[in-house]
Amino acid sequence: MKIIIDAMGGDNAPGAMVEGAVIAAESLNANIVLVGKGEEILKSLRNLKIGDLPSGIEIADAPDVISMRDDPTAAIRSMKNSSMVVALNMLKDGGGDALLSAGSTGALLAGSTLILRRISGVRRAALAPIMPAAFSNAILIDCGANVDCSPEMLRQFAYMGGLYAKLVLGKSYPRIGLLNNGTEEGKGPELQRDTYRLLEEDDKNGKINFVGNIEARDIFDGAIDVIVSDGFSGNILLKTIEGMGMFTLKTLKSLLTGSKKVALAGLMLKDSFAEFKRDVDYTETGGAVLLGVTKPVIKAHGSSNGNAAFNAIRQAVTCARSGYVDAIAEMLRNRPNPDNFTNSESTTGD
């Protein structure tokens, strides 16, 4: 098992990725290739008091870096020696089993689609983050890759997300919900109403386990495994959850340091609060998987630290081992028309 890492992507590059790789090389049974500026990677290792390249880690030199300001498509096409393009080509050519990057989301989406290509029959690849553990490890699909969607695209997201939930998250019969502004049938704009009809029909035919519309507040009760959404609404949901988590932690910290008496109570609850922090902390949950391209690609948070990088590497290993890419390809091979799911066997509900 070999994980390719775009070491130069993210706010804390390459230090965060190097730190995550070192922890992963020690604790996971995986080899890691750090792609990026060799000297900077070695410097980051020295900062961790590591003189020699640890066993299981190698460096592939790539002198250029795609920045957040670069036009994604033009950058992928022109910056052939950038860490992201070198890493994607390495994955494409079989030099690894999965790729992780905390770099520009737009460039990673464009690069994955243009270099790795979509699985045959996939209309659009979608970004699917795992919600924090407190929210029962549901996945959200899509969280921002596709702002404009059709009902057929959302239907594909439901199927791809269902397979991922089954194979990677271990949900035997994934419960699929459609993000909407009310639970009743007929709620929401045309896109959600039409998608509801498609998913309901598939549920009646036993192809998926569609449980209906779901409101944003209800995703926290653990009743859903796959939250289907257009990328625009999904992105707002994800950012709201992140912001709310940070706000809650900040408020709790402030409350518990207000007086000596309260601080003492806080000390007594230290372990419980640490557990709560782990449950809502995005650095514990890994990244967002790009579903629909021909290889496993994980987008880590742009501000990932070493712990977030490690958890995203762990997720990449799990993804690569799960065989979800082949499962999606197999599902679509049984459906000559990618937008027509009406003549096939169940893939998420068996």
The CA angle 36-305-49, to the nearest 5 degrees, is 70
Any idea how long the chain is?
A: 350
Taking the complex as a whole, the smallest distance from the CB of residue 72 to other proteins amounts, in Å, to 9
How many residues bind other proteins (CB under 8 A)? The answer is: 17
List all residues 6 or more positions away from 322 whose beta carbon is below 8 Å from its beta carbon.
167, 168
Identify the residue among 38, 54, 56, 338 touching other proteins (CB under 8 A): 338
Q: Which is nearer to other proteins, 251 or 343 (CB)?
A: 343
Taking the complex as a whole, the smallest distance from the CB of residue 117 to other proteins amounts, in Å, to 8
124 counts as binding other proteins under rule CB under 8 A: yes
79 counts as binding other proteins under rule CB under 8 A: yes
- Report residue 315: phi and psi, to 5°: -65, -40
Q: Which is nearer to other proteins, 117 or 277 (CB)?
A: 117
Q: d(Cα 54, Cα 175) in Å, to the nearest integer?
A: 42
Taking the complex as a whole, the smallest distance from the CB of residue 59 to other proteins amounts, in Å, to 26
Taking the complex as a whole, the smallest distance from the CB of residue 85 to other proteins amounts, in Å, to 11
Indicate the helix (H) or strand (E) that contains 31: strand 31-36
Give which of 69, 83, 80, 79 is closest to 6, Cα–Cα.
Answer: 83
Q: d(Cα 126, Cα 73) in Å, to the nearest integer?
A: 17
Residues 84-123 that bind other proteins (CB under 8 A): 110, 113-114, 117, 121
Q: Which is nearer to other proteins, 154 or 309 (CB)?
A: 154
Taking the complex as a whole, the smallest distance from the CB of residue 223 to other proteins amounts, in Å, to 34
Taking the complex as a whole, the smallest distance from the CB of residue 344 to other proteins amounts, in Å, to 17
Q: d(Cα 40, Cα 192) in Å, to the nearest integer?
A: 47
List all residues 6 or more positions away from 225 whose beta carbon is below 8 Å from its beta carbon.
136, 137, 138, 139, 162, 165, 169, 171, 174, 175, 176
Identify the residue among 68, 74, 255, 274 touching other proteins (CB under 8 A): 74
In three-state secondary structure terms, 346 is: coil
CA 86 to chain centre: 21
Residues 44-73 that bind other proteins (CB under 8 A): 71, 73
Sheet with 31-36, strands from edge to edge, namely 57-61, 31-36, 2-6, 98-101, 297-299, 288-291, 126-129
Taking the complex as a whole, the smallest distance from the CB of residue 141 to other proteins amounts, in Å, to 17
344 counts as binding other proteins under rule CB under 8 A: no
Q: d(Cα 78, Cα 75) in Å, to the nearest integer?
A: 5
179 counts as binding other proteins under rule CB under 8 A: no
Q: Which is nearer to other proteins, 77 or 187 (CB)?
A: 77
CB 16 within 8 Å of CB 46: no
Taking the complex as a whole, the smallest distance from the CB of residue 203 to other proteins amounts, in Å, to 25
Q: Which is nearer to other proteins, 114 or 329 (CB)?
A: 114
337 counts as binding other proteins under rule CB under 8 A: yes
Q: Which is nearer to other proteins, 303 or 337 (CB)?
A: 337
Q: Which is nearer to other proteins, 46 or 80 (CB)?
A: 80
Residues interacting with other proteins, by CB under 8 A?
A: 71, 73-79, 110, 113-114, 117, 121, 124, 148, 337-338
